[in-house]
Chains A and B, each alone.
Chain A
């Protein structure tokens, strides 16, 4: 930007208006962050501080939420507590202060693991299939290509609950209900439409001349695809993969309807973490924090490609 020559132009706003705009945006950003900061803080409160009335902004930090998130506990009589040998670990001690003993790990670890397995599995498949299809749509003359592309997109217009009814019946017949494989296949199908649309945009931007030169030099079409196009599309493939991963990671409707135990992911699990007297808010907040951290990292990594991702590649910068 040539700031000097355009100092008085409408194109380059004046310093004062820039500062005011900046101030308003920063205020908005801070307001928007407050709910997230509150949740983050709640994860480090004790149960009693978390439900204090009026709410406490600052409380003594406690790891009770995180301990509760990863353990199941049972309440014991004071006589029993007194008969126990001294606690071995800091989390044993923390739990015993509430007159409880740890009886085992909670299901959160397993649910988190399911989220990872199903997320990465479906992302890999969707990006793999999507890359192939996107390349074909980008480079070959395919009869009814526009209609096919629209068909691929239109599968996204179904409300997930509407799709879930027949899928539920189909999976029951096929024995895929509540299995990781079933969820991977389902998320792959949902994500592949996004992958095709995004990747077609990225591959369209790679000049055809590169492959043509390679093919003149004796490469076959497949070799040119593998050794010329794929490396060029690497950034786009990575961005697409992250979008697919985020979708699978965040998905709730299918997960809550089609899984109940074995294959349940974290989103249906976090909201039902309950303690003795209703919701265990510190544990919910702790689970939420752990669940959201990867998304924050990915958002920062993706910031240049966000626009494409959220518009199915319809808008590019």
Chain B
């Protein structure tokens, strides 16, 4: 910080060098004007790149528009796209695949992440170095992660099957993580857990560190068992943090596209075809723009609605 008298001379010099009228114009912005000047560009950008397209998508979802047929006449079809999406058994299968992915990744990431946070919170020697190492996967590009896990999962040339074989005795080429209907839904769960467990860990760690020492000291004075301390102090204090982590993970994984698109491309068949992958196929391979817009709007409303309900629950827990 520079000291104040010095700054005043700078300010005076600036003021003196500027003609009166101009000075008032430049420096005389009211706070209100500045506020809108500062916020305006951001809002304008978001309106242009997010809201305008959203409204356009809503419009398209009521038409039979196909983006690859430039000269075809566009007809208003009412809610037909919506009723088609909602009555399509394939879509419900995709939603089940998405739910399987979201639920199991969250279960694994919460258990592993919370466990790791408890361990790291013991502040062993070198914990900050090892924490950084543990955090690394979540910073990587999901597309690139999906690509290289495809190599790791190769039945014959990839190391994953050999590691499993080493510990279980199952022959390494007897199972195919990415290519078999039974295992593919779990291969994407494993990779996502590998990548995002540190995320849950980091947020839980912040929760653990937010518990003031005196509460534990009071518990100790009362001779509470460590089991009891965990259930009645640690867990309730960490719960809001954990719920926040679950919220962010659920939204992200509901939207999941890149990692899965590159690891399994939705296959085999459509066993790992998550909602976003279906959306991409409908919109950019089959070019059913109206239909896919309707599906996109349904997904957005689902995420938005679920997130709102969840945030209410989160606030209830926080204020308890």
Contact = CB atoms under 8 A, between A and B. Distances in A.
Interface in A180-231: 185-186, 188-189, 192-193, 196, 210, 213-214, 217-223, 227
A159 B299 contact: yes
A288 B147 contact: yes
Nearest to B120: A25
Contacts of A21: 118-120, 122, 124
Interface in B113-144: 116, 118-120, 122-128, 130-144
Contacts of A185: 45, 49
B293 interface: yes
A82 interface: no
Interface in B299-319: 299-300, 303-304, 307
Interface centre among B49, B126, B202, B280 (most CB of A within 10 A): B49
Interface residues of B, number: 116
B95 to A, nearest CB: 13
Interface in B162-210: 162, 172, 194, 198-199, 202-203, 205-206, 209
A189 B144 contact: no
A42 to B, nearest CB: 7
Contact of A154 (B12, B132, B158, B304): B304
Given A133-B38, A169-B56, A55 B135 contact: no
Given A133-B38, A189-B45, A315-B244, A163 B151 contact: no
A155 interface: yes
B4 interface: yes
A267 B293 contact: no
B35 interface: yes
Interface in A136-167: 136-137, 140, 142, 148, 151-152, 154-155, 157-167
Q: Is the interface of B mostly helix, strand, loop or mixed?
A: helix
A158 B300 CA distance: 6
Given A28-B134, A154-B304, A189-B50, A10 B279 contact: no
Contacts of A166: 52-54, 56-57, 60, 293
B57 A162 contact: yes
Most-contacted residue by chain A among B27, B39, B120, B251 (CB, 10 A):
B39
A135 to B, nearest CB: 6
Interface stretch (A33-41, A63-71, A84-92): A33-41
B138 to A, nearest CB: 7
B124 A159 contact: no
Contact of A285 (B116, B148, B209): B148
Given A170-B56, A267-B143, A292-B144, A217 B42 contact: no
Given A13-B122, A189-B50, A285-B148, A25 B67 contact: no
B134 to A, nearest CB: 5
Contacts of A142: 35, 39
B246 to A, nearest CB: 12
A270 B147 contact: yes
Interface in B25-65: 26-29, 31-32, 34-39, 41-43, 45-46, 48-54, 56-57, 60
A72 interface: no
Chain A interface size, under 10 / 10 to 19 / 20 to 34 / 35 or more: 35 or more
Given A38-B159, A268-B143, 7 more contacts: A10-B219, A29-B134, A57-B159, A161-B280, A189-B46, A285-B148, A307-B205
15 contacts: A18-B124, A22-B122, A32-B134, A32-B194, A55-B157, A136-B35, A140-B34, A155-B46, A157-B307, A159-B299, A166-B54, A167-B53, A227-B10, A253-B257, A303-B131
Interface of A: 1, 9-11, 13, 17-19, 21-22, 24-26, 28-29, 32-33, 35-36, 38-39, 42, 50-55, 57, 129-130, 132-133, 135-137, 140, 142, 148, 151-152, 154-155, 157-170, 185-186, 188-189, 192-193, 196, 210, 213-214, 217-223, 227, 246, 249-253, 256-257, 267-268, 270-271, 279, 281, 284-285, 288, 291-292, 295-296, 298-300, 303, 306-307, 310-311, 314-315, 317
